[in-house]
């Protein structure tokens, strides 16, 4: 891809905005369309675009496969951890209402953290799937 100047420049320009959009979809998900899954896919897509244009080796420098696997597990753990935290605060499993002083704030905090967990795992899984296939036969 070294010779495709247009592709490289456009990719470099757009990747930061893709990340930004992913974060918008992530954190605005509880007010508008969006949420963890969609944000995770967009976030992962930025990495995949980078790997397509600049090669798998460069992408692996940014996100080594072990780090990606770590985030797959960490996201799920965050999700389940919120559930357990609700238990410890005296509510039912995944009852976000007890996480803050008043019910609505607790619900807000809970769904935000849970969706963040979903986003992290989905982004990491997207990247891992791409890396696994791109790495075959090398």
Partner 1 sequence: MIAAHYPALQIALPLIAAPLCVLLRRGTWAWLVTVAVSWTALYVSVQLLLQVLASGPISYELGGWAAPWGIEYRVDSVNAFVLLIVSGISAISAPYAYKSVIHEIPEHQHYLFYSAYLLCLTGLLGIVITGDAFNVFVFLEISSLSSYVLISLGKDRKAVTAAYQYLVMGTIGATFFLIGVGLIYAMTGTLNMADIANRIDQVQNTRTVLAAFAFITVGLGLKLALFPLHLWLPNAYAYAPSVVTVFLAATATKVAIYTMLRFVFTLFGTDFALDVTLLAEFLMALALVGVFAASITAIFQNNIKRMLAYSSVAQVGYMMLGVSFFSVTGLTGGIVHLFNHAMMKGALFMALGAIFFRVGSVHIDRIRGLGKQMPFTMFAFVIGGLSLIGIPLTVGFISKWYLILAALERGWWPIAGLVLLSSLLAIVYVWRVVEVAYFRDPPTNHPKVTEAPLSLLVPTWILVLANIYFGVDTTLTVGVADTAAKVLLGLGQ
Which residues would be at the binding site for partner 1 (CB under 8 A)? Answer: 69-70, 72-74, 76-77, 80-81, 83-84, 86-87, 91-97
CB 124, min distance to partner 1, A: 11
CB 131, min distance to partner 1, A: 15
Is 49 or 85 the residue whose CB approaches partner 1 more closely?
85
CB 46, min distance to partner 1, A: 24
Provide the 8-state DSSP code for 62: H
H-assigned helices in 89-138: 103-134
Report the SS3 class of residue 138.
coil
């Amino acid at each position: 891809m070294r010779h495709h100047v247009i592709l490289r420049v456009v990719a470099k320009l757009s990747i930061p905005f893709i990340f930004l959009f992913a974060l918008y979809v992530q954190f605005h998900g509880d007010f508008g369309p969006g949420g963890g899954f969609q944000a995770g896919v967009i976030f992962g897509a930025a990495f995949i675009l980078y790997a397509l244009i600049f090669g798998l080796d460069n992408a692996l420098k940014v996100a080594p496969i072990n780090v990606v696997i770590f985030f797959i597990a960490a996201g799920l753990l965050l999700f389940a951890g919120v559930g357990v935290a609700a238990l410890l605060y005296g509510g039912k499993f995944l009852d976000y209402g007890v996480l803050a002083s008043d019910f609505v704030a607790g619900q807000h905090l809970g769904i935000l953290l849970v969706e963040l967990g979903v986003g992290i795992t989905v982004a990491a899984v997207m990247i891992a799937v791409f890396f696994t296939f791109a790495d075959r036969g090398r």
